[in-house]
Each structure stands twice: as C-alpha cells, then as structure tokens.
Amino acid sequence: MRRESAGNGRVFVIIPGHPMADDRGRVLEYRYLMAKAIGRPLREDEVVHHRNGDPSDNCLENLELLGAGAHVRLHHPPKEAEYICPRCRKKFTRTQRQARGKRVFCSRSCSVGFYSALRHRKIQHGASGYRRGCRCRKCRQAQADRIRKWRHGLRA
C-alpha cells in the first residue's frame, strides 16, 4: 500500500482493485480508514467528516461518518432573515428556505386572516354589503349585528 499526496491536504492510498478505488487505483485515506473501521465499503452517499476541519488529520477520533444531506447542513446552516408580517406589522425571523420568495407571516392566524380578508374583497356581496354564510370577520360581525337588531326589535 503506497501513499500519495493530493496537494490540498488530502492523502490517497494506492490499492488497485479496491471496491472504492478510482480508475487509477487510488482511495482517499480517510475514506479507506473509515471503511476499514466499520467493516464495509462506503456508499456513494456517505461522507467522512473531519471534526477538527483539518483534512490531513486522518486519525479515527477525528473522523465521523455522515449522510450527504447531514454533511451539507453541518457546513451550510440555514440563513435567517428578518421579515415584517404584512398583516400585523410585527418583526420576526424565518430561515430563507422557509420563505422561498413567497409572502411570509408571523403566524398561521395572521396568514389565514390576511387571505380571508383578501378573498372578502374579491367576493361580491349582496345588497346588504355582506354575504350570508361568509366566514370573514366583517361578515360575521355584520351577521351578529343583524341578529342583535332582530332580537332588540322583538323585545321592543
């Protein structure tokens, strides 16, 4: 088994015919050591992470086996951004991944309230100005006022 330096701190071991070797018979030393430690060849989606960040330090205490997604999340944590709720104007933070370019609200209740108010403006209401059976706040209040007036008329 021969060693060869890659120049960027990584070290290859030359093992022709190894299941993880490339076409020149090279295997990254840290991948080879991890495969030997767990007793099987590593899969394509498994990544060996150097805990101290030094790619030339290949002792087993410094190596950790991770999935590809977990390794990406470890090195690139989600970025937080500050937003202002379009309904209540409260400042809050969300990850940029959660926002994904759409309108972001501080809570689900603000989202529901905002979109029901938006729908309310689009719905054409009856002669009284409000539609019977509509669940928006304005229509519920108008319905409650009509019932209150009706009850008051019965008592008079």
Token pair in block for residue 19: 């299941």
- The number of residues making up the chain comes to 156
Question: What is the predicted pLDDT for the residue at 133?
Answer: 67
Token readout for 39 is 């007793």
pLDDT band at 156 (very low <50, low <70, confident <90, very high): low
Strand, coil or helix: 44: coil
More confident residue, 119 or 92: 92
Tens-digit pLDDT profile for residues 10-65: 889 999 999 999 999 999 999 999 999 999 999 999 999 999 988 888 999 999 99
pLDDT-wise least confident of 13-17, 69-73, 91-95, 102-106: 102-106
Give me the chain's average pLDDT, please. 83
Residues 57/50, Cβ–Cβ less than 8 Å: yes
Domains of the chain, residue spans: 2-75, 84-122, 126-156
| pLDDT band for position 80 (cuts 50, 70, 90) | confident
Higher pLDDT, 100 or 91: 91
Mean pLDDT confidence for 110-115: 82
109: its two tokens: 């209740």
Q: Mapping DSSP to helix (H, G, I), strand (E, B) and coil, where does residue 82 land?
A: strand
pLDDT of residue 40: 94
Q: Give the model's pLDDT for residue 71.
A: 93
Can you give the pLDDT at residue 128?
A: 56
* Stretch 61-74: mean pLDDT: 93
